[in-house]
Protein backbone atom coordinates (compact mmCIF):
# COMPACT_ATOMS: atom_id res chain seq x y z
CA UNK A 1 0.00 0.00 0.00
CA UNK A 2 2.69 2.51 0.98
CA UNK A 3 4.51 2.08 -2.32
CA UNK A 4 1.39 3.20 -4.08
CA UNK A 5 0.86 6.05 -1.63
CA UNK A 6 4.45 7.23 -2.18
CA UNK A 7 4.53 6.80 -5.93
CA UNK A 8 0.81 7.49 -6.52
CA UNK A 9 0.71 5.10 -9.49
CA UNK A 10 -2.92 4.17 -8.93
CA UNK A 11 -5.86 5.87 -7.23
CA UNK A 12 -3.69 8.32 -5.27
CA UNK A 13 -6.63 10.27 -3.91
CA UNK A 14 -8.22 7.16 -2.43
CA UNK A 15 -4.99 5.90 -0.91
CA UNK A 16 -4.06 9.28 0.51
CA UNK A 17 -7.53 9.63 1.99
CA UNK A 18 -7.08 6.27 3.72
CA UNK A 19 -3.67 7.30 5.09
CA UNK A 20 -5.09 10.54 6.43
CA UNK A 21 -8.09 8.74 7.94
CA UNK A 22 -5.94 6.22 9.79
CA UNK A 23 -3.55 8.99 10.83
CA UNK A 24 -6.36 11.01 12.37
CA UNK A 25 -7.60 7.94 14.23
CA UNK A 26 -4.27 6.65 15.49
CA UNK A 27 -2.39 9.81 16.41
CA UNK A 28 -3.18 11.79 19.55
CA UNK A 29 -4.46 15.32 19.19
CA UNK A 30 -1.04 16.80 19.91
CA UNK A 31 0.31 15.17 16.76
CA UNK A 32 -1.46 17.65 14.50
CA UNK A 33 -0.31 21.13 13.54
CA UNK A 34 -1.75 23.84 15.73
CA UNK A 35 -3.45 26.76 14.09
CA UNK A 36 -0.97 28.76 12.03
CA UNK A 37 -1.08 32.54 12.31
CA UNK A 38 -3.47 34.17 9.87
CA UNK A 39 -0.41 35.86 8.40
CA UNK A 40 3.13 34.72 9.11
CA UNK A 41 5.71 37.40 9.78
CA UNK A 42 8.75 35.20 9.76
CA UNK A 43 12.49 34.76 9.78
CA UNK A 44 14.72 31.92 8.64
CA UNK A 45 17.02 31.49 11.65
CA UNK A 46 18.80 28.28 10.65
CA UNK A 47 22.26 29.75 11.22
CA UNK A 48 21.45 30.58 14.86
CA UNK A 49 22.66 27.28 16.45
CA UNK A 50 25.95 27.40 14.57
CA UNK A 51 26.47 31.08 15.34
CA UNK A 52 25.76 30.48 19.02
CA UNK A 53 28.23 27.59 19.01
CA UNK A 54 30.84 30.09 17.76
CA UNK A 55 30.04 32.53 20.56
CA UNK A 56 27.78 35.03 18.80
CA UNK A 57 25.45 36.98 21.10
CA UNK A 58 22.93 39.48 19.81
CA UNK A 59 21.87 42.88 21.12
CA UNK A 60 18.66 44.79 20.58
CA UNK A 61 18.50 48.32 19.21
CA UNK A 62 19.17 49.68 22.71
CA UNK A 63 22.37 47.68 23.01
CA UNK A 64 20.92 45.19 25.49
CA UNK A 65 22.07 41.59 24.98
CA UNK A 66 19.09 39.24 24.65
CA UNK A 67 18.12 35.93 23.10
CA UNK A 68 17.75 36.45 19.34
CA UNK A 69 14.37 34.71 19.22
CA UNK A 70 13.09 36.99 21.99
CA UNK A 71 14.31 40.07 20.10
CA UNK A 72 12.68 38.98 16.85
CA UNK A 73 9.36 38.23 18.51
CA UNK A 74 9.01 41.11 20.94
CA UNK A 75 10.72 43.90 19.03
CA UNK A 76 9.72 43.05 15.44
CA UNK A 77 6.47 41.07 15.79
CA UNK A 78 7.99 37.95 14.22
CA UNK A 79 5.52 35.12 14.87
CA UNK A 80 7.08 32.33 12.80
CA UNK A 81 10.48 30.81 12.06
CA UNK A 82 11.80 28.88 9.10
CA UNK A 83 14.34 26.11 9.71
CA UNK A 84 16.26 24.13 7.10
CA UNK A 85 17.16 20.48 7.47
CA UNK A 86 19.97 18.67 5.64
CA UNK A 87 20.11 14.87 5.40
CA UNK A 88 23.66 14.06 6.53
CA UNK A 89 25.37 17.46 6.83
CA UNK A 90 28.96 18.16 7.77
CA UNK A 91 29.70 20.06 10.98
CA UNK A 92 30.46 23.19 8.97
CA UNK A 93 28.48 25.87 10.81
CA UNK A 94 27.64 27.86 7.69
CA UNK A 95 27.11 25.16 5.08
CA UNK A 96 25.96 22.12 7.05
CA UNK A 97 25.32 21.51 10.75
CA UNK A 98 21.51 21.49 10.61
CA UNK A 99 20.60 17.82 10.86
CA UNK A 100 17.15 16.78 11.98
CA UNK A 101 18.04 16.76 15.68
CA UNK A 102 19.55 20.25 15.72
CA UNK A 103 16.63 21.49 13.65
CA UNK A 104 14.16 19.93 16.11
CA UNK A 105 15.91 21.55 19.08
CA UNK A 106 15.71 24.95 17.39
CA UNK A 107 12.06 24.36 16.51
CA UNK A 108 11.36 23.56 20.15
CA UNK A 109 12.92 26.88 21.21
CA UNK A 110 10.73 28.72 18.74
CA UNK A 111 7.59 26.89 19.81
CA UNK A 112 8.36 27.58 23.46
CA UNK A 113 8.50 31.27 22.50
CA UNK A 114 5.02 30.97 21.00
CA UNK A 115 6.09 30.89 17.36
CA UNK A 116 4.97 28.76 14.45
CA UNK A 117 7.47 26.64 12.52
CA UNK A 118 8.20 26.10 8.84
CA UNK A 119 10.62 23.34 7.83
CA UNK A 120 12.65 23.45 4.65
CA UNK A 121 13.68 19.94 3.65
CA UNK A 122 16.67 20.28 1.33
CA UNK A 123 16.88 16.54 0.53
CA UNK A 124 20.62 17.05 0.27
CA UNK A 125 23.66 17.03 2.57
CA UNK A 126 24.20 20.75 1.93
CA UNK A 127 22.58 23.61 0.02
CA UNK A 128 19.90 22.80 -2.53
CA UNK A 129 19.02 25.77 -4.76
CA UNK A 130 18.38 26.57 -8.45
CA UNK A 131 22.01 25.89 -9.35
CA UNK A 132 22.42 22.61 -7.49
CA UNK A 133 20.12 19.90 -6.23
CA UNK A 134 22.62 17.21 -5.26
CA UNK A 135 21.41 13.92 -3.86
CA UNK A 136 22.61 13.00 -0.36
CA UNK A 137 25.74 10.87 -0.66
CA UNK A 138 23.93 7.91 0.89
CA UNK A 139 21.25 8.07 -1.83
CA UNK A 140 23.59 8.58 -4.77
CA UNK A 141 23.19 5.15 -6.38
CA UNK A 142 19.53 4.58 -5.61
CA UNK A 143 17.02 3.58 -8.25
CA UNK A 144 14.12 5.97 -8.65
CA UNK A 145 11.88 3.72 -6.54
CA UNK A 146 14.55 3.65 -3.84
CA UNK A 147 14.80 7.43 -4.07
CA UNK A 148 11.08 7.81 -3.51
CA UNK A 149 11.31 5.40 -0.58
CA UNK A 150 14.18 7.48 0.85
CA UNK A 151 12.18 10.70 0.52
CA UNK A 152 9.21 9.03 2.21
CA UNK A 153 11.22 7.58 5.09
CA UNK A 154 13.42 10.63 5.65
CA UNK A 155 10.47 13.05 5.62
CA UNK A 156 8.70 10.96 8.23
CA UNK A 157 11.90 10.75 10.31
CA UNK A 158 12.20 14.54 10.38
CA UNK A 159 8.54 14.99 11.27
CA UNK A 160 8.89 12.42 14.05
CA UNK A 161 12.04 14.12 15.39
CA UNK A 162 10.06 17.35 15.55
CA UNK A 163 7.14 15.75 17.35
CA UNK A 164 9.49 14.11 19.85
CA UNK A 165 10.34 17.70 20.85
CA UNK A 166 6.67 18.61 21.04
CA UNK A 167 6.63 20.46 17.72
CA UNK A 168 4.31 19.86 14.79
CA UNK A 169 5.32 22.21 11.97
CA UNK A 170 2.63 24.36 10.42
CA UNK A 171 4.37 24.21 7.05
CA UNK A 172 6.90 21.92 5.37
CA UNK A 173 8.70 22.75 2.14
CA UNK A 174 9.19 19.72 -0.08
CA UNK A 175 12.59 20.82 -1.30
CA UNK A 176 14.23 24.23 -1.43
CA UNK A 177 14.13 26.55 -4.45
CA UNK A 178 13.29 23.65 -6.75
CA UNK A 179 13.17 25.92 -9.80
CA UNK A 180 14.46 23.05 -11.94
CA UNK A 181 13.30 20.20 -9.75
CA UNK A 182 15.14 18.27 -7.04
CA UNK A 183 17.41 15.27 -6.45
CA UNK A 184 19.20 15.66 -9.78
CA UNK A 185 19.26 14.16 -12.27
CA UNK A 186 16.35 11.83 -11.52
CA UNK A 187 14.07 14.65 -10.44
CA UNK A 188 15.40 17.40 -12.72
CA UNK A 189 12.28 19.13 -13.99
CA UNK A 190 13.71 20.07 -17.40
CA UNK A 191 14.65 16.43 -17.96
CA UNK A 192 11.77 14.58 -16.30
CA UNK A 193 8.90 16.67 -14.95
CA UNK A 194 6.98 13.52 -14.04
CA UNK A 195 9.74 12.28 -11.74
CA UNK A 196 9.88 15.69 -10.08
CA UNK A 197 6.12 15.54 -9.55
CA UNK A 198 6.35 12.07 -8.05
CA UNK A 199 9.04 13.19 -5.61
CA UNK A 200 6.97 16.18 -4.55
CA UNK A 201 3.96 13.94 -4.10
CA UNK A 202 5.97 11.46 -2.05
CA UNK A 203 7.15 14.19 0.31
CA UNK A 204 3.65 15.64 0.54
CA UNK A 205 2.12 12.27 1.38
CA UNK A 206 4.84 11.54 3.96
CA UNK A 207 4.14 14.84 5.75
CA UNK A 208 0.39 14.21 5.72
CA UNK A 209 0.87 10.66 7.06
CA UNK A 210 2.29 12.22 10.24
CA UNK A 211 0.27 15.44 10.43
CA UNK A 212 -2.75 15.96 8.22
CA UNK A 213 -2.98 19.62 9.25
CA UNK A 214 0.54 20.59 8.17
CA UNK A 215 0.61 22.52 4.88
CA UNK A 216 3.06 21.36 2.22
CA UNK A 217 4.90 23.88 0.05
CA UNK A 218 6.67 23.93 -3.30
CA UNK A 219 9.24 26.74 -3.24
CA UNK A 220 10.89 28.34 -6.27
CA UNK A 221 13.42 31.15 -6.57
CA UNK A 222 12.83 34.33 -8.60
CA UNK A 223 9.39 35.29 -7.38
CA UNK A 224 9.18 37.96 -10.08
CA UNK A 225 9.65 35.41 -12.90
CA UNK A 226 6.13 34.44 -13.92
CA UNK A 227 7.24 32.25 -16.83
CA UNK A 228 9.28 30.06 -14.46
CA UNK A 229 6.30 29.53 -12.17
CA UNK A 230 3.86 28.74 -14.96
CA UNK A 231 6.30 26.14 -16.33
CA UNK A 232 7.27 24.57 -13.00
CA UNK A 233 4.05 24.72 -10.99
CA UNK A 234 1.92 24.01 -14.04
CA UNK A 235 4.16 21.07 -14.91
CA UNK A 236 3.83 19.64 -11.42
CA UNK A 237 0.06 19.93 -11.41
CA UNK A 238 -0.24 18.50 -14.92
CA UNK A 239 1.76 15.49 -13.73
CA UNK A 240 -0.44 14.85 -10.71
CA UNK A 241 1.59 16.36 -7.87
CA UNK A 242 -0.25 17.23 -4.67
CA UNK A 243 0.85 20.14 -2.48
CA UNK A 244 -0.87 22.94 -0.62
CA UNK A 245 1.05 26.16 -1.15
CA UNK A 246 3.45 27.95 -3.51
CA UNK A 247 6.43 29.77 -2.01
CA UNK A 248 8.69 32.35 -3.58
CA UNK A 249 12.11 33.92 -2.98
CA UNK A 250 12.98 37.53 -3.82
CA UNK A 251 16.32 39.30 -3.36
CA UNK A 252 16.08 42.64 -5.19
CA UNK A 253 18.55 45.50 -5.33
CA UNK A 254 18.02 48.64 -3.29
CA UNK A 255 17.30 50.55 -6.50
CA UNK A 256 15.01 47.98 -8.11
CA UNK A 257 12.92 46.60 -5.31
CA UNK A 258 9.70 48.45 -6.20
CA UNK A 259 9.52 46.86 -9.63
CA UNK A 260 10.53 43.47 -8.24
CA UNK A 261 7.76 43.62 -5.63
CA UNK A 262 5.18 44.62 -8.24
CA UNK A 263 6.19 41.75 -10.52
CA UNK A 264 6.20 39.27 -7.62
CA UNK A 265 2.75 40.33 -6.45
CA UNK A 266 1.42 40.07 -10.00
CA UNK A 267 2.98 36.60 -10.28
CA UNK A 268 1.34 35.60 -7.00
CA UNK A 269 -2.04 36.80 -8.26
CA UNK A 270 -1.56 34.78 -11.44
CA UNK A 271 -0.71 31.65 -9.43
CA UNK A 272 -3.87 32.13 -7.38
CA UNK A 273 -5.98 32.60 -10.52
CA UNK A 274 -4.45 29.63 -12.35
CA UNK A 275 -4.09 27.09 -9.56
CA UNK A 276 -6.02 28.36 -6.53
CA UNK A 277 -2.97 27.87 -4.29
CA UNK A 278 -2.07 29.86 -1.20
CA UNK A 279 1.10 31.96 -1.47
CA UNK A 280 4.02 32.28 0.93
CA UNK A 281 7.10 34.45 0.45
CA UNK A 282 9.59 32.22 2.22
CA UNK A 283 12.79 34.13 1.50
CA UNK A 284 13.52 37.83 1.14
CA UNK A 285 16.63 39.86 1.76
CA UNK A 286 18.48 43.01 0.80
CA UNK A 287 22.03 44.30 1.17
CA UNK A 288 22.90 44.91 4.81
CA UNK A 289 24.17 48.43 4.06
CA UNK A 290 20.84 49.49 2.54
CA UNK A 291 18.76 49.47 5.71
CA UNK A 292 16.32 52.23 4.79
CA UNK A 293 15.48 50.64 1.44
CA UNK A 294 15.37 47.24 3.13
CA UNK A 295 12.82 48.41 5.69
CA UNK A 296 10.60 49.85 2.95
CA UNK A 297 10.97 46.66 0.92
CA UNK A 298 9.95 44.46 3.86
CA UNK A 299 6.93 46.65 4.64
CA UNK A 300 5.79 46.63 1.01
CA UNK A 301 6.10 42.85 0.74
CA UNK A 302 4.25 42.33 4.02
CA UNK A 303 1.40 44.67 3.13
CA UNK A 304 0.92 43.56 -0.47
CA UNK A 305 1.16 39.83 0.16
CA UNK A 306 -1.22 40.11 3.11
CA UNK A 307 -3.72 41.80 0.80
CA UNK A 308 -3.67 39.21 -1.99
CA UNK A 309 -7.12 38.16 -3.25
CA UNK A 310 -9.29 35.82 -1.20
CA UNK A 311 -6.90 35.78 1.75
CA UNK A 312 -4.45 33.62 -0.22
CA UNK A 313 -1.34 35.52 0.91
CA UNK A 314 -0.11 33.70 4.00
CA UNK A 315 3.20 35.26 5.02
CA UNK A 316 6.64 36.72 4.42
CA UNK A 317 9.94 35.37 5.83
CA UNK A 318 13.25 37.27 5.98
CA UNK A 319 16.26 35.04 5.36
CA UNK A 320 18.76 34.89 8.23
CA UNK A 321 18.21 38.43 9.61
CA UNK A 322 20.54 37.68 12.54
CA UNK A 323 23.50 37.29 10.16
CA UNK A 324 26.18 39.97 10.51
CA UNK A 325 28.05 41.48 7.52
CA UNK A 326 30.34 38.95 5.94
CA UNK A 327 29.15 35.95 7.94
CA UNK A 328 29.92 32.58 6.34
CA UNK A 329 32.41 33.91 3.87
CA UNK A 330 30.57 37.01 2.81
CA UNK A 331 26.79 36.79 3.18
CA UNK A 332 25.72 40.41 3.11
CA UNK A 333 21.93 40.45 3.39
CA UNK A 334 21.40 40.03 7.13
CA UNK A 335 19.87 42.66 9.40
CA UNK A 336 22.40 42.82 12.24
CA UNK A 337 25.59 44.86 12.29
CA UNK A 338 29.12 43.86 13.28
CA UNK A 339 28.51 45.47 16.71
CA UNK A 340 25.71 42.87 17.14
CA UNK A 341 22.99 45.54 17.08
CA UNK A 342 20.21 45.50 14.45
CA UNK A 343 19.74 47.72 11.45
CA UNK A 344 16.30 49.18 10.74
CA UNK A 345 15.38 46.47 8.20
CA UNK A 346 13.21 44.30 10.44
CA UNK A 347 11.15 47.31 11.50
CA UNK A 348 9.33 46.80 8.21
CA UNK A 349 7.47 43.91 9.86
CA UNK A 350 6.00 46.09 12.60
CA UNK A 351 2.34 46.98 12.14
Residues labelled as active-site residues:
177, 283
* Whether 236 contacts 211, CB under 8 Å: no
Q: Are 250 and 199 in contact (CB under 8 A)?
A: no
CA-to-CA distance for 90 and 93, rounded, in angstroms?
8
Q: Are 121 and 172 in contact (CB under 8 A)?
A: yes
Task: Collect all residues with Cβ–Cβ distance below 8 Å to 242 and sequence separation of at least 6.
Answer: 8, 12, 16, 200, 201, 204, 205, 216
Contact 301, 250 (CB under 8 A): yes
CA distance 59 to 88: 32
Backbone angles phi, psi at 301, to 5 degrees: -60, -45
- Residue 65, strand partner residues: 59
**In degrees rounded to 5, what are phi and psi of residue 319?**
-90, 115
d(CA 117, CA 123): 18
What phi and psi, each to the nearest 5 degrees, are found at residue 47?
-80, -10
Q: Are 44 and 318 in contact (CB under 8 A)?
A: yes
Do residues 236 and 219 lie in contact, with contact meaning Cβ atoms separated by under 8 Å?
Answer: no
H or E, element range at 296: helix 291-306
First and final CA of the chain: distance in angstroms? 49
Amino acid sequence: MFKNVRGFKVKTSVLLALVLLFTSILLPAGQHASAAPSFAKGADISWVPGMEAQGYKWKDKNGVQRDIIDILKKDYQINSVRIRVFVNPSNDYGNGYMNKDRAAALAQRAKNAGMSVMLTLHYSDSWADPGKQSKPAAWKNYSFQQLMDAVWNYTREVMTAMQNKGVTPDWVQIGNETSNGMLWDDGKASVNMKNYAWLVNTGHNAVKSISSGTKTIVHLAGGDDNALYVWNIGGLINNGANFDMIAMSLYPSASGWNTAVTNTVNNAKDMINRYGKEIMISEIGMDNNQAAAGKSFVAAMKNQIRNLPNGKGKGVFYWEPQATPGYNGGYGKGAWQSNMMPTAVMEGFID
